[in-house]
Amino acid sequence: AAKRVLAVAVCDHFNHARRCLEDPAVAEAEHAKPNVLVVGPTGSGKTFLVRTLARLLNAPMVKADATKFSATGFVGRDTEELVRDLADAAGGHLAAASHGIVYVDEVDKLCTSRTSLTGLLGGGGGSVNTRDVQTSLLKLMEDADVAIGARGSGSAEGAAQRLSTKHVLWIFSGAFNDMHRQLHADESAEDAHFADLDAQALAAVAPKADGAEVDDVAVEELA
């Protein structure tokens, strides 16, 4: 199922990229990207699927670990570096990079830890994974203009180049162990709720044990 979803999403993505290159008006129109979230336990082959996809595709693609990013003001990678890496993967060809693919693994580690006293540390890893990182990734997923140029050069030419993420496809993956347990608990609670409703409905329509006749009002309505 995961292979089918990834294949369909990538096919739709590059079909849309082709239409954008053929007609600039299509690129300016509103478009809902088929971004993908791959969920599965550790060792289920999530990263292998994406690596195989990257090997088969002749297109710009970058991979990153979500635990390496940090909130503004802390030591760690900035989320916008993903877009700059994508431009590097395209050899500086911004038109190709603007329709590339970004894969972020371990995204479930961005969830705030319930056991953290400060509320800053993520569900795993030593980096500072706060809601700021989630917000930054969300902005990049939707549509953001990121400055592209020679890193650290400070040249005016590099600063003038900007790459839009409007048509960049994003693939996320993670184990989300707590989510599986929560979904299972919700399903069990829902099953118990409907079982209780069924029991109440059966009790309401069941005939009386003492064989009492139906009341006069019901008989008149039936007549």
Contacts of 133 (CB under 8 A, 6+ apart): 66, 69, 70, 71, 79, 110
Structure tokens at 115: 């056991």
pLDDT tens digits along 58-78: 889 999 999 888 876 667 788
Burial code (b: 16+ CB inside 10 Å, e: under 16) for 199-210 equals eeeeeeeeeeee
Rg (CA), the chain: 26
For the whole prediction, is pTM greater than 0.75?
A: no
Q: How far is CA 104 from the centre of its chain?
A: 9
According to the model, what pLDDT value does residue 113 have? Answer: 53
pLDDT tens digits along 6-50: 999 999 999 999 999 999 999 999 889 999 999 988 888 998 898
3-state helix, strand, coil in the chain (%, to 5): 50, 15, 35
Give the C-alpha separation, 166 to 33, whole Å: 9
Q: Is 108:174 a contact under the CB 8 Å cutoff?
A: yes
Q: Predicted confidence band at 217 (pLDDT cuts at 50, 70, 90)?
A: very low
| pLDDT at 79 exceeding the cut of 70 | yes
* Strands (E) located in 89-140: 101-105
Give the C-alpha separation, 63 to 82, whole Å: 8
Q: Bin 140: left if φ > 0, else alpha if -120 < ψ < 50, else beta.
A: alpha
